[in-house]
Amino acid sequence: MNRTIRLVGMLLFALGLATMFLDRAQPAPAAQAVSSADAATRIAALESLIPDQAHIMADVGEHFANLWFAGEAENWPLADFYLSETQSHLRWAVRRIPIRKDNAGREINLNNILQAFENSELKTLKRTVSEKHRPRFEQAYRNSLTICYACHKAADKPFLRPGIPQAPASPIMNFDPHAQWPG
């Protein structure tokens, strides 16, 4: 799924460059008017290709689920990787839609909630990973789920209730820190 998102990103970048060059290649004013209408259409088409917030959040769910199993296996470099992925995808999700409405129609600033999360439990979680301390990691992970859910409730999605995962989200990944194969 990450690869798809990266491919879409590269495609958007390439199309963006192509659009810039096409626009520069049309100096006549009439042609420019047509090309700006074209550009608006093209931008709308490109926007429809960007993953939506729920899609990005589904990635957050996968990375965060894998993080649990990496921590349980005490595979700390892998845990560090999944925690960083969680954080970068949370930021991307919030950039995608920064303001949402609560059930009373009030605006909720998701960025503020994420910043509070980053400065509290996500920071603690990072520390437990670098200290390689499994019991503290488990506690910080549970506390983090409470904050995940607090944001879902604030965004009027109380039915999105995350929990301790039952199975890793990436069955192909070997979580054993002592694995010898592929060598």
**Site for ligand HEC, rule CB under 6 A:** 52-54, 57-58, 60-61, 64, 86, 90, 94, 100, 110, 113-114, 117, 144, 148, 151-152, 155, 157, 160, 162
Long-range CB pairs of 12-19 (<8 Å, 24+ gap) are 12/46, 12/49, 12/50, 15/42, 15/46, 16/46
Q: Please identify, using beta-carbon distances, which residue of 12 and 147 lies nearer to ligand HEC.
A: 147
Q: Please identify, using beta-carbon distances, which residue of 32 and 101 lies nearer to ligand HEC.
A: 101
Q: Please identify, using beta-carbon distances, which residue of 75 and 87 lies nearer to ligand HEC.
A: 87
Smallest distance from the beta carbon of 49 to ligand HEC, in angstroms?
16
Tell me the C-alpha distance between 98 and 109, whole Å.
6
Name every residue whose Cβ is closer than 8 Å to that of residue 4 and which is 6 or more positions away in sequence. Answer: none
Smallest distance from the beta carbon of 102 to ligand HEC, in angstroms?
11
Q: Please identify, using beta-carbon distances, which residue of 146 and 174 lies nearer to ligand HEC.
A: 146
Smallest distance from the beta carbon of 35 to ligand HEC, in angstroms?
33
The candidate with the shortest Cα–Cα distance to 129, out of 87, 168, 75, is 75
CB hemisphere CA count around 100 (13 angstroms) = 20
Smallest distance from the beta carbon of 60 to ligand HEC, in angstroms?
5
Smallest distance from the beta carbon of 84 to ligand HEC, in angstroms?
13
Q: Please identify, using beta-carbon distances, which residue of 67 and 73 lies nearer to ligand HEC.
A: 67
Cα 11 to its chain centre, rounded Å, is 19
